[in-house]
Amino acid sequence: MWGKNMYQALYRKYRPRTFDDVSGQEHITRTLKNQVASDRCSHAYLFVGTRGTGKTSCAKILARAINCEHPVDGSPCNECAPCRAIESGAAMDVVEMDAASNNGVGDVRALRDEAIFSPAALKKRVYIIDEVHMLSKEAFNALLKILEEPPEHLIFVLATTELYKVPATIVSRCQRFSFHRLTREAIDARLRFVASAEGVALSDDASATLARLADGSMRDGLSLLDQCAGEGDVTLGRVRELVGLPEGDAAASLLRAVAARDAGGAFSILDSLYRGGTGISALFDELSELARDALVLKFMAGGENLLSGAADTKELKALGAAFGEARLLYALTALSKARRELTRGAGDRLAAELCIASLCDERLESYPEALTARVEALEGGRSVRDDEGERGNGSSRTPTPTRTEETPPLSAAPTSPPPSGGDEEDEAPWAEEEPTGDGAGAITCAPRGTNRPKTDAETENDGEEDEEEPVGAGLTRPETGDDGEDDGSSRTPTPTETKDDGFWDEILARLEVSGGIMVLPFVSDATAALTGDILTVTVTDSFAVEMLARESAAAMLKAAAEEIIGRQVALKTVVGENKGAAEKLGDLSSRLGDIIRFDE
């Protein structure tokens, strides 16, 4: 089947011989053919692209086409003496240089000294320098002068996979051609052609899988076909066995177990694949493609044309629904991190197990994507990992209570007091006479968590202890008469004279659920007073004032206050009394524990 002569690799045996044979680079081959046909070739070319896209093949075709005695529409005839000599490597005037191993300034100086001589047998002397980005700085400087003012008989063709390493002075003196990654369709068609020419039966699913694994490189695709065709027909099972891909939908099953946070099931699948000979790198490539495709469908309507083909659309949509956007982003980040660990030579199985464990429980990781996934789990009203006794029963943590329609906003306070079931001395504060003057309508709210009824012991001691002035007292200056004495018409209200609706608690609760979690540490032990349309927030230190003066923090606090109060307010921040350090720390720890809580 493969012939009786010495075996030659398929990617060498079926290397393109004319511009028309080059797959997927029509935008380049068309231009080069026109230049050769019109005798307008440049003195220097720079071919840029990833591996296996046809850079060196086009360079060799161009060298033959320029020196061909009978070119056909800009392509070499491959029959004349110059074409045969160049193709066999016997032409002294066409030199191929590997810059990866000949990257010193001495190598380039020798090339430069030799290049000034006229060609021995051909019309043009052609130098093909592969991996030109590997040249040293001194070597590039030595090459620069001859590229700037080359002899008429000299043509340079430079090829590189890393353009950013080539100096701009070199790039500006060349005609640059960018080689695209080949599409799966182009690689698939070429693989079928080669398999047919070699008499190898290649199934459709096997050809599609090889084209996907080639990742845009024709050489990689042909090398994989060469590997799989050693024992006859090429089937999908044969490809999976030789390349080390997981069987069937094993990768999808592993992701489904991860989505369900079933660490035991995921570890069992991983162990089965590992013992069956599946390559960990190949498995993680497959998992990454599945997660990436699910994310594409999650964010793009009609994004089927961007999929890698690792699974069908129905399976990908189910995975996307099971994960959610934040967990998919986290999964891709964790998989990429694990793949980097594999390339550094770490234990394959250990790196895979650590990655699977972190995917099942985001608490094991601390980078931003993991935290985002944890926040999404909280917003969904469930813990990151259910208790063993509650797994799968649909239980969820109680969501943070919010103000309902039955609770009127502050601006719509009741005009008449509710019925009282006790004596006058037990009546609510709003039953007392409302203050008049500029201080009318002022409401003062105590720190969060202090709005509670007094105990019997506290009530008995009310008359024995001196009454402390509230933190927010004195913020509104009373009007005085002409003689400087207070006429009593606009005295500042005290907490016992105004209704405490607890609106500050509602504002803080609103900050928790509206993305203002970063503002809470600076206002958690503050007090608030509403006078007209001015909300005065009394904090405990000047640092909190500076933080709340920032536009983003002030906007968050103002938006939460206006939503609870029911109208637009102006925000004012002042420094009041300082609470004890232990009390502040305990209050803050309690609040943060309420904000980020996971069921153990």
Which of residues 401 and 246 earns the better pLDDT score? 246
State whether the Cα torsion 255-257-262-268 is positive or negative: negative
pLDDT at res. 35: 93
Q: What share of the chain is helix, strand, coil (3-state, %, to 5)?
A: 50, 10, 40
Higher pLDDT pick, 352 / 588: 352
Give me the pLDDT at residue 501, please: 55
Minimum mean pLDDT range among 295-304, 427-436, 494-503: 427-436
Is the model's pLDDT at 362 over the cut of 70? yes
pLDDT at residue 222, as a whole number: 92
Q: Would you say 521 and 500 are in contact if contact means Cβ atoms under 8 Å apart?
A: no
110 torsion bin: left (phi>0), alpha (psi -120 to 50), beta (else): alpha
Q: What pLDDT sits at residue 373? A: 62
Instruction: Give me the pLDDT at residue 564, please.
Output: 80
d(CA 99, CA 107): 9
3-state secondary structure of 199: coil
**Residue 316 confidence (pLDDT):** 84
Q: Based on the number of CB atoms within 10 Å of its own CB, is 287 exposed (0-12), middle (13-18) or buried (19 or more)?
A: buried
Residue 547 has pLDDT above 70, yes or no: yes
- The pTM score is 0.57
Buried b (16+ CB within 10 A) or exposed e, 435-467: beebbeebbbbbbbeeeeeeeeeeeeeeeeeee
Q: Is 195 helix (H, G, I), strand (E, B) or coil?
A: helix
Most confident of 102-111, 162-171, 326-335: 162-171
CA 241, 247, 252, 257 torsion: positive or negative?
Answer: negative
For 283-305, what is the mean pLDDT? 82
Distance of CA 430 to the CA centre of its chain: 55
pLDDT of residue 66: 93
Neighbours of 146 (CB within 10 A): 20
Question: What's the confidence (pLDDT) of residue 600?
Answer: 44
Q: How far apart are CA 262 and CA 419, in angstroms?
A: 56
Q: Which two tokens stand for residue 590?
A: 């309690």
Q: pLDDT-based confidence at 104, cuts 50/70/90? A: confident
Q: Which of 532, 501, 503, 528 is nearest to 437 (CA)?
A: 532
pLDDT band at 497 (very low <50, low <70, confident <90, very high): very low
Q: Which of 2-11, 48-57, 228-237 has the lowest mean pLDDT?
A: 2-11
Task: State CA 370 to chain mean position distance.
Answer: 12
pLDDT, residue 377, reads: 65
Using CA atoms, how far residue 294 sits from 150, 304, 373, in Å, is 53, 10, 16
Largest CA distance in the chain: 123
Question: Quick check: 599 and 378 in contact, CB under 8 A?
Answer: no
Which residue ranges form the domains of the chain, and what is each CATH number?
Answer: 10-178 (3.40.50.300), 184-243 (1.10.8.60), 250-379 (1.20.272.10), 503-595 (3.30.300.180)
* 190-226: pLDDT as tens digits: 999 999 998 889 998 889 889 988 888 999 999 999 9
Q: What is the pLDDT of residue 60?
A: 93
Pairwise CA distance, residues 93 & 420, whole Å:
109
Res. 4 pLDDT band, cuts 50 70 90:
low
Is 46 within 8 Å of 175 (Cβ atoms)? yes
Strands 175-178 and 44-48 turn out to be parallel
Per the listing, tokens 């700037």 go with: 148
* Residue 339: per-residue pLDDT: 81
Token pair, residue 241, equals: 């066995």
Looking at residues 231-240, what average pLDDT do you find? 84
Three-state SS across 71-120? CECCECCCCCHHHHHHHHCCCCCEEEEECCCCCCHHHHHHHHHHHCCCCC
pLDDT at 586 over 60: no
pLDDT-based confidence at residue 26 (cuts at 50, 70, 90): very high
> When comparing pLDDT for 454 and 255, which is higher?
255
High-pLDDT (> 70) share of the chain, %:
69
124, 67 contact by CB (below 8 A)? yes
Q: What is the mean pLDDT of residues 446-471?
A: 47
Helices (H) and strands (E) in the chain, counts: 24, 9
Average per-residue pLDDT for the chain? 75
Residues 6+ apart with CB under 8 A from 286: 245, 246, 251, 310
Q: What is the pLDDT of residue 599?
A: 44
Kindly write down the DSSP assignment for every residue of 518-555, as one continuous string.
Answer: TTHHHHTT-EEEEETTEEEEEESSHHHHHHHTSHHHHH
Contact 83, 114 (CB under 8 A): no
Distance of CA 479 to the CA centre of its chain: 60
pLDDT at 371 (0 to 100): 65
H or E, element range at 456: helix 456-460
